[in-house]
Chain A
Amino acid sequence: MSENGAGKQLSRLEYERKARRRSLIIAGLSTTAVVGALVVLVPLAPGWPAVKNSFFNWEIFVRTSPTLLRTFLLDVAIFAWCAPLIAIWALVIAVFRDTRSPALFPFRLFAIIYTDIFRGVPVILVVYLVGFGIPGLGLPRPWNSPYLWGSVALILTYAAYVAEIYRSGIESIHVSQRNAALSLGLSQSDVMRYVVLPQALRRVLPANMNMLIALQKDVALLSFIGPVEIFRQAGVFKSLLANFTPYVVAAVIFLAVTVPATRFADTLISRQNRRRS
């Protein structure tokens, strides 16, 4: 009986291994076919030599990479100071939004209007309005810096999205957790701080990872209002060299950061889904 069971298990494992091998082979073959067709067919297109020269010029790739990498550091820096400020400001908005006491209603109303507005307007518009508008008031240095107001524009917009993510996390914590904490004599704010938020923030970590990746890309929008970050530098090279390869370099640099980050976020999400099921 048990021997029979073990035998069955063995053949099931065997079968699964075979099936896995077969699907790997099929995937390999079809990928080779598609990539092969692209490599063979695309160069046959009449415009290919021109496209190749203006987008994939190796000499220009090598020449512009160091400068573009250096300007990418500015993107990273803007990202690095925006991200924590977004996290904090979004938390304030989310907590405002969750207040139930009538005395705090103005804060709740503010949070609702705030998230509606900043989620409803394209990021680039906020970047323009804040990034050009406020320095246009004629403020003295350093208060007229496009770095400052460009960052503020990103923070305002992203905080609206992240606040909604936080709120979904807060609302996902079952009311019995709050009741258990309240019944011990904790204050509403302690319940929020020690019981609800720690669980909620953990739960929305993967969603926020995706926001971080989006933010990393949207930093390039600041190029429209002044800061010479990678996207603007690529534009300068493009005009100088009459060639689009610098944009391809910029894309490669972005991908080098965002692809691993995206994989990491996906891993977090699936790990969390597994744990919950």
Chain B
Amino acid sequence: MPKLELQAVRKSFGDLQVLRGVDLTVAEGELVCLIGSSGSGKSTLLRTVNLLTPIDDGAILLDGTDISLPDQDPRPIREQIGIVFQSYNLFPHMTALDNVLLAPRRVHREPDSSLLPRARELFVRFGLGDHMHHWPDQLSGGQQQRVAIVRALAMNPGIMLFDEITSALDPELVGEVLGVLAQLKRDGMTMLIATHELSFAAEVADKVCFLHAGVILEEGRPREIFENPKEVRTRSFLERVR
């Protein structure tokens, strides 16, 4: 059973059909990269998985259970799905540590004595050991984005979604954030990543999916997609972004 499966997912905003029947599977421990031009619906797709955007039709299965049905409490589902956004979205009125601890404190209601060691371990693992008590505006973009990743990981999600998390970063900071993703992959995390970093995708992805005109037009191993795309649309997209 795949960790995550989208079946014929449709989503429109008014007259704009953004997703027109998306089928996508992410297996346990797999790293799937979602590529496609700007405005093709990558963010929308990730947000539907996270239940921030309700879908119009289709199904989204997490561990085989449909999570897209209306009238269920989204909270326990969101807990199992971490998401990191392009713009970090750290809470500016809290230190990095409090950003990370907020959800475990409120949702799991565990005492700090049991939460702190794990949080500290995450900070250290991602090279942020010295920055736990800093405020977001005292951190570089790359550090903020890594804190945002730690914040999502602190809830122990079974799958992580990343929405162009390096797009807002200065070029010299991109590497440290991509490094975190590679590290997560080694740890066996299941990941769905919308990205423009094609060389990164080529290097670490198990599967690359090309989203175009509301459907996954082509998918396959990175080598197949990047070196030998079957669809002419895929080829012209790759030519444009390379």
Instruction: List residues of A whose CB falls within 8 A of some B CB.
Output: 176-177, 179-187, 190, 194-195, 198-199, 202
* CB-defined contacts of A184 to chain B, threshold 8 Å: 78-79, 102-103, 107, 151-152, 155
Task: Give the residue of A176, A187, A190, A199 whose beta carbon is less than 8 angstroms from that of B93.
Answer: A199
A177, A198, A202: the one contacting B89 at CB < 8 Å is A177
Q: Does B87 lie at the interface of the complex (its beta carbon under 8 Å from any beta carbon of A)?
A: yes
Known contacts A179-B52, A180-B85: does B93 contact A186 (CB below 8 Å)?
no
Write out the residue numbers on chain A whose beta carbons fall within 8 Å of the beta carbon of B240: none
B92 within 8 A of A: yes
Contact check, B52 vs A186: say whether CB atoms are below 8 A apart: no
B70 close to chain A: CB less than 8 A = no
Asked if B106 lies at the interface with its beta carbon under 8 angstroms from chain A, I say yes
When distances are taken between beta carbons in the complex, the residues of chain A under 8 Å from B107 are 184-186
Interface contact tally, CB-CB below 8 A:
58
Are A179 and B103 neighbours in the complex by a CB distance under 8 Å?
no
Which chain A positions have C-beta within 8 A of B89? Answer: 176-177, 179-180
- Chain B residues within 8 Å of A181, by CB: 91, 102-103
Q: Do B78 and A190 touch across chains, with their CB atoms under 8 A apart?
A: no
13 A-B pairs whose Cβ atoms sit less than 8 Å apart in the complex: A180-B91, A180-B148, A183-B50, A183-B81, A184-B103, A184-B107, A184-B151, A185-B79, A185-B103, A185-B155, A186-B107, A199-B93, A202-B93
Query: Contact residues of B with A, CB < 8 Å?
Result: 50, 52, 74-76, 78-79, 81-83, 85, 87, 89-93, 102-103, 106-107, 148, 151-152, 155
Chain B nearest CB, measured from A212 CB (Å): 22
B107 nearest in chain A by CB position: A185
Minimal beta-carbon separation of A226 from chain B (angstroms): 44
The residue in chain B whose Cβ has the minimal distance to the Cβ of A197 is B93
A183 & B93 in contact (Cβ 8 Å cutoff): no
- Assess whether B91 is in contact with A177, with CB atoms less than 8 Å apart: yes
Q: Is the CB of B83 within 8 A of A183?
A: yes
Asked if A182 and B78 sit within 8 Å, CB to CB, the answer is yes
Besides A180-B91, A186-B103, A187-B75, 19 new A-B residue pairs in contact (Cβ under 8 A), listed by A number: A180-B89, A180-B148, A181-B103, A182-B52, A182-B74, A182-B78, A183-B52, A183-B152, A184-B102, A184-B103, A184-B107, A185-B78, A185-B107, A186-B75, A186-B102, A187-B106, A194-B102, A199-B91, A202-B93
Name the distance in Å between A15's Cβ and chain B's nearest Cβ.
34
Contacting residues, chain A, for B93 (C-beta < 8 A): 198-199, 202
Chain A residues within an 8 Å CB radius of B52 = 179, 182-183
Contacts of A186 in B (CB 8 A): 75, 102-103, 106-107
Residue of B nearest to A201 (CB): B93
- A184 CA to B93 CA, complexed, in Å: 17
Given A180-B89, A180-B91, A185 and B76 contact (CB-CB distance below 8 Å): yes
- Among B82, B90, B106, B148, chain A packs the most CB atoms within 10 A around the CB of B106
With contacts A190-B106, A194-B102 taken as known, whether A185 is within 8 angstroms of B85 at the C-beta atoms is no
B residues in contact with A199, CB < 8 Å: 91-93
| 6 A-B pairs with least C-beta separation | A184-B103, A185-B79, A180-B89, A185-B78, A183-B83, A185-B107
A195 touches B91 (CB 8 A): yes
Alpha-carbon distance between A182 and B102 when the two chains are bound, in angstroms:
12
* Cα of A120 to Cα of B91 in the assembled complex, Å: 37
- B75 touching A185, Cβ below 8 Å: yes
A182 to B103, CA, bound (A): 9
